[in-house]
Chain A
Amino acid sequence: DTAVSQTPKYLVTQMGNDKSIKCEQNLGHDTMYWYKQDSKKFLKIMFSYNNKELIINETVPNRFSPKSPDKAHLNLHINSLELGDSAVYFCASSRRGGDQPQHFGDGTRLSIL
């Protein structure tokens, strides 16, 4: 029943490791997003895909690489993790255009030791 689901919910890892976060939506939306929420709760978009095509790519280190195998999935792979990557990462989805609301997952809390 979960509309936008992310796995894992928690991720604790060492600096320098590579990790992935997965996202799936069952809402039939064609646009998906990754957001980063820092320790001060500031939410900032990282990437957006529409029908597997990258449409938004904010100023994000190229250690972060999104991949969309199909329009229901958007994964985020992070190489060489740094302390500053510690945050909550949210996946969201929406229909494209107009005033379409974005539906968020419950987030993945990434902690770098």
Chain B
Amino acid sequence: QQQVKQSPQSLIVQKGGISIINCAYENTAFDYFPWYQQFPGKGPALLIAIRPDVSEKKEGRFTISFNKSAKQFSLHIMDSQPGDSATYFCAAKGPNFGNEKLTFGTGTRLTIIP
């Protein structure tokens, strides 16, 4: 059972454009939603994260939009750059202290073309 669904699987965006990746979750007990960025040959690294009591969080060119009623959240990358080319994973974590399990989406391979 895939508890966090991510789309699209791959995305090609022109330099300077906006990249948008979407995720949907099923478990309403999730209460922490991070996005991870992974470059080839490297481990995932935390990019930005949000809690469901906030509808939007912005850090530089990266913004998470969160829709609690629809159980959806998305990552927007403004002014996309070739250096943003990577695989992006959304994830969700449960509410229990000590339940550190991250459930990941299936990943989006983003390519920024000049």
A112 to B3, CA, bound (A): 30
- B60 at the A/B interface (Cβ < 8 Å)? no
Q: Which of B43, B98, B102, B106 contacts A42 (CB 8 A)?
A: B106
Interface contact A56-B46, CB-CB below 8 Å:
no
Q: Which of B34, B46, B87 contacts A41 (CB 8 A)?
A: B87
Interface size on B, residues (CB 8 A): 24
Q: Which of A92, A96, A105 contacts B98 (CB 8 A)?
A: A96
Given contacts A92-B43, A107-B41, 6 further A-B contacts (CB under 8 A): A41-B109, A56-B99, A94-B100, A101-B46, A102-B100, A107-B42
Q: What is the interface of chain A, defined by CB distance below 8 A to chain B? A: 4, 31, 33, 40-45, 48, 50, 55-56, 90, 92, 94, 96-107
Q: What is the interface of chain B, defined by CB distance below 8 A to chain A? A: 32, 34, 38, 41-46, 49, 51, 87, 89, 97-104, 106-107, 109
